[in-house]
A and B are shown apart, each in its own frame.
Chain A
Amino acid sequence: MSDIKFSKEELERYSRHLIIPEFNIKGQRKLKAASVLVIGTGGLGAPLLQYLSAAGVGTIGIVDFDVVEDSNLQRQVLFTQADIGRPKVEAAKERIAAQNPHIQINTYNTTFTSENAVEIAKDYDVIADGTDNFPTRYLVNDVSVLLKIPNVYASIFRFEGQVTVFNYIDAHGNVGPNYRDLFPSPPPPGLVPSCAEGGVIGVLPGILGSLQANEVIKVITGVGDNLSGKLFLFDALNFETRTLKIEKDPENPLTGENPTLTELIDYEQFCGFGIEKNGERENVKEIDVNTLDNWLKGDEDLQLIDVREPFEYEIANIDAQLIPQGDILEHVEEISSKHKVVIHCRSGKRSADVIELLQDKYGFQNLYNLKGGILAWAEEIDQSLPKY
């Protein structure tokens, strides 16, 4: 560690770290020697990358397959208007390299999958999980356990967030709990809405991502007590915070008493996404927006139902009959079983859920899902409609 050297510029840059007695140059050397893989450069990734680069983490890897969209800018503060359409990893690297030219930045413009996870992560000391879906969370967990590296985790929804450190190995070699100890099973698809479906207050990932960056720094330097074994919960709406104990689960298939998992698996299937691999479901009939447009123009005798929430209807609608998803069973009598019934939502997912429910429970055979929902209609048929 004493062979890590700093230039005069670096020492001046990090002076506010160096003068903290508990941190000092030893802590700074550990940061410079460390490599952190940040998976996801979205809402959590923004503060993570900014603060880890500012702190002087020597090597930062950034994994993201996506490009910057305008709806990202409400919370992904690493990006600007001018970045729209660019690969996120490219824009992120440019931003943090400008912030700190003394660090090494590696980018991986790809999805993090079972096929590439070990190859990408094997050269890193710490993983920071800023991902946005359950399959990848389980993948990140499992690869961190297999590689024996800590996984600093944060997740958010609307106004709530969680932070902890999984798979932390302390100075005595004791290993802390991991994600599968806390959540042995993922929720079924569609139960916990995504930010795209449920929304998120923009500053929330900023708060949680900053806490996450703090945990990464503590894990690397050994300063303070990190959140291993503890789940920190933050409610931004009522400002309540709680810290709960995470217990190890003896039935954890990865690290329990009788481990059965020794390698990475198909996480989409594990999380129940098998049927929807291509966004289609075998038993749900689909039409695209052009077909609906033709049916409406041809005066086809059909019923058009919108299963979104009233506040979404106010933002944009196509004059459908509004029956929110949660109320559908109370309004079954209003749904025709004779004519074509086209059901839509924002993107086509909730409406597909509703159709499956109505078909299974009542035997409807005349229901059609509008592929792509009102977003596809706004894209292809009526550009005056806002896409939200």
Chain B
Amino acid sequence: MATIIIPTPLRKFTDNKAKIETSGSTVGESITQLAELHPDLSKHLFQQCGKLQNFLKIYLGDRDIKALNNEETPISEQDVISIIPAIAGGKL
């Protein structure tokens, strides 16, 4: 089971849960499962073509998955996946 950490701006789509356990052997499978568990989150995670939104960063541990194998990056028990959005504070 990997844990996905949900950032504050997206918690309204996960019933305010900050951490969600998923199974799946790759980062992509875990994120897909997350979207299936919380369908409202889906359009914020994925573009229409099915690729991950490019204003989100996905980290496995402290590494950007782009530096690993993107969605194909394998995961194991105890792994932590973080979704990191851009935030800007204040105005829009």
Contacts and interface: CB of A to CB of B under 8 A. Distances in A.
Interface in A143-183: 155-160, 162, 182-183
Nearest to A135: B92
B56 to A, nearest CB: 8
How many B residues touch the partner, as a band? 20 to 34
B89 A242 contact: no
A185 B90 contact: no
A205 interface: yes
Contact of B62 (A155, A160, A245): A245
Interface in B8-63: 8-9, 12, 18, 40, 44, 53-55, 57, 59, 62-63
How many A residues touch the partner, as a band? 35 or more
A243 to B, nearest CB: 6
Which secondary structure dominates chain A's binding surface? loop
B20 to A, nearest CB: 15
Contact of B92 (A133, A155, A159, A231): A133
Given A233-B84, A238-B18, A160 B89 contact: no
B90 A231 contact: no
A134 interface: yes
Contact of B91 (A158, A196, A326): A196
Given A131-B88, A192-B88, A247-B67, A159 B8 contact: yes
B83 to A, nearest CB: 11
Interface string A182-216: 11111111111111101010000100000000000
- Point out which of A160, A189, A249 has the most chain B C-beta atoms below 10 A from its C-beta: A160
Contact of A242 (B55, B62, B64, B90): B62
Interface of B: 7-9, 12, 18, 40, 44, 53-55, 57, 59, 62-64, 66-67, 82, 84-92
30 contacts: A44-B89, A131-B90, A132-B88, A132-B89, A133-B88, A133-B91, A134-B86, A134-B88, A155-B89, A156-B89, A157-B87, A157-B89, A159-B8, A162-B87, A182-B86, A183-B55, A183-B57, A185-B54, A189-B92, A191-B55, A192-B86, A193-B9, A194-B91, A195-B91, A205-B89, A242-B82, A244-B82, A245-B63, A247-B66, A249-B66
